A = this chain, B = another copy of it.
Amino acid sequence: MTPLGYALLGLVQMQPRSGYALRKVFETTPLGGYSSSPGSIYPALKSLEKAALLVARDPSGKRGKGEYHLTAEGERLLHAWLASPIGDLGEAMLRFAFLRDDDRDATLTFLDAFLSAAESELAGLEAFLAGDGAKDLPARGRIAVEHGLRQLQASADWARWTREQYSTD
């Protein structure tokens, strides 16, 4: 399963949509970073259908092939993904976008894990700068790494800020 696949499952879970409607979401929102154009979305939908994670139903009138719905298996897979340990921070943000709105516990757990991951990556970059590995990079490389540090700090800040919004205690 690719990120695009999970994004499609997540959008369909929010509400059943046709392939075209899904395509539009990617064209008109920042989700667009995960795809572009029919050439990726339709084949991806087809493969999700073949894997029995989605089904197309109820063509209204005779146009198109109807709207996609999650199968039980698709739902299972989506939730497993949402609950899986955090690896890549970018993928984690995609997951966050599809976390259930009402599940405060899952949200807080996620944010804690996200924060840990960001802090651990931060520590890694700092160790790299402190060590001698940086000698293989050009002089500008260190400044580029500084950019990475700031990005990770922003991620960590976001996690702390968001956590406060969600914790009622």
Contact = CB atoms under 8 A, between A and B. Distances in A.
Contact of A28 (B125, B133, B144, B146): B133
Given A139-B101, A141-B97, A146 B158 contact: yes
Please tell me the size bucket of the interface on A: 35 or more
A71 interface: no
A73 interface: no
Nearest to A152: B154
B139 A96 contact: no
Interface of A: 10, 14, 24-25, 28-31, 93-94, 96-99, 101, 125, 128, 133-134, 136-141, 143-148, 150-151, 153-155, 157-158, 162, 165
A155 B147 contact: yes
Nearest 9 CB-CB pairings of A with B: A154-B154, A97-B144, A150-B154, A97-B141, A147-B158, A25-B136, A101-B139, A97-B140, A150-B158
Contacts of A158: 146-147, 150
Contact of A136 (B29, B136, B140, B141): B29
Given A97-B137, A97-B144, A98-B140, 20 more contacts: A10-B138, A14-B138, A29-B133, A29-B134, A29-B137, A30-B125, A30-B128, A30-B148, A93-B144, A96-B140, A97-B140, A98-B138, A101-B138, A101-B139, A143-B162, A147-B154, A147-B155, A147-B158, A150-B155, A150-B157
Most B C-beta atoms less than 10 A away, residue of A94, A147, A150, A157: A147
A96 B144 contact: yes
